[in-house]
Structure 1
Amino acid sequence: MKTETDQAQIEHIIQTLKQDLPTLFERDITYDIYSQDILFKDPISRFKGKFNYRIIFWTLRFHGQLFFTELYFDLHDVYQSEENIILADWTVSGTLRLPWKAKIFFNGQSCYRLTDEKLIYEHIDTWDRKPSEILRQFFRKGM
């Protein structure tokens, strides 16, 4: 049964995600909304634990600055789809630091599952194309 407190906690998580995600390539996110044993999975990786989760975001920032002249995480929507599930729809786009200025672009969705205590214990990303298709964008000339 959902209480007012539960809904307030879910709203806090949604607002935190709305604040954190658009700038995840520029600065660190807020970790107090995640459980210690958070599971992260996307089409190319799988990690468990808050320490590893922090490393994922550090790595995204590091590689983003190293390999891209521009890199954006455009957040389209964050919403509660079921009692303990929050979804985020987004697009990643950027320009690689290559002489031919290759562009990268893909859409995705993050599914966050919540514990009864209203902490995120699972973060699963799905993408609108295969990793190999995204990698091929590196070799196309940008516009």
Structure 2
Amino acid sequence: MEYQLQVERNIETLKKDLPTLFEQDISYDIYTQNIYFQDPVNKFKTKFNYRIIFWTLRFHARLFFTQIYFDLHDVNQSAEDIILAKWTVRGVLRVPWKAKIFFNGYSTYKLNKDGLIYEHIDTWDRKPGEILQQFFRKGGEI
């Protein structure tokens, strides 16, 4: 019962935090101290480094984009020890040709016996190089 309450708390926290991750910091109390994070360009451990990646995302969002959005489509418990979040990142780069960035992905969060998140793996629908190529195209609607 306690475990499932923590899982539900995690889901509610993710639903609240993820849509605004480019604007404000997330809550870190649902993660273990030694959380492992991996996406197609980063890989590291510990909550300190996890905090840095979110700070870096906000910093780069403000520096390089006039608009940037993290559209959260769904967050659910896909297995007893897994939470899955499906999302889209889209934005307008701060360049004269107003290049647009757009990619879909999902985050897989693995839970320990206490229901805390000990692993966060992001999967993108395209390679980082393909996303980078979007920076050089003239923008349209996002």
TM-score by length of 2: 0.98
Which residues of 2 match residues 59-138 of structure 1 at below 5 A? Answer: 59-138=56-135
Runs of at least 4 residues of structure 1 off by over 2 A?
none
Say yes or no: does 1:8 pair with 2:5.
yes
SS of corresponding position for 1:43: coil
Q: What is the alpha-carbon root mean square deviation over aligned residues? A: 0.4
SS of corresponding position for 2:120: strand
Identity of aligned residues (%): 71
Query: Whole-Å Cα distance in 1 between the matches of residues 7 and 111 of structure 2?
Result: 9
The equivalent residue for 2:15 is 18
SS of corresponding position for 2:126: coil
The Cα shift of 1:5 comes to 1.6
The Cα shift of 1:138 comes to 0.1
Query: Whole-Å Cα distance in 2 between the matches of residues 9 and 137 of structure 1?
Result: 39
| Runs of at least 5 residues in structure 1 that lack an aligned partner in the other structure | none
Query: Whole-Å Cα distance in 2 between the matches of residues 129 and 98 of structure 1?
Result: 23
Query: Among residues 129, 136, 141, which one is paired with 1:139 in the alignment?
Result: 136
The Cα shift of 1:47 comes to 1.1
Letter of the structure 1 residue corresponding to residue 58 of structure 2: R
Letter of the structure 1 residue corresponding to residue 112 of structure 2: T
The Cα shift of 1:66 comes to 0.2
Query: Whole-Å Cα distance in 2 between the matches of residues 88 and 73 of structure 1?
Result: 12
The Cα shift of 1:70 comes to 0.1
The equivalent residue for 1:47 is 44
| Runs of at least 5 residues in structure 2 that lack an aligned partner in the other structure | none
The Cα shift of 1:6 comes to 1.3
Count of paired positions: 140
TM-score by length of 1: 0.97
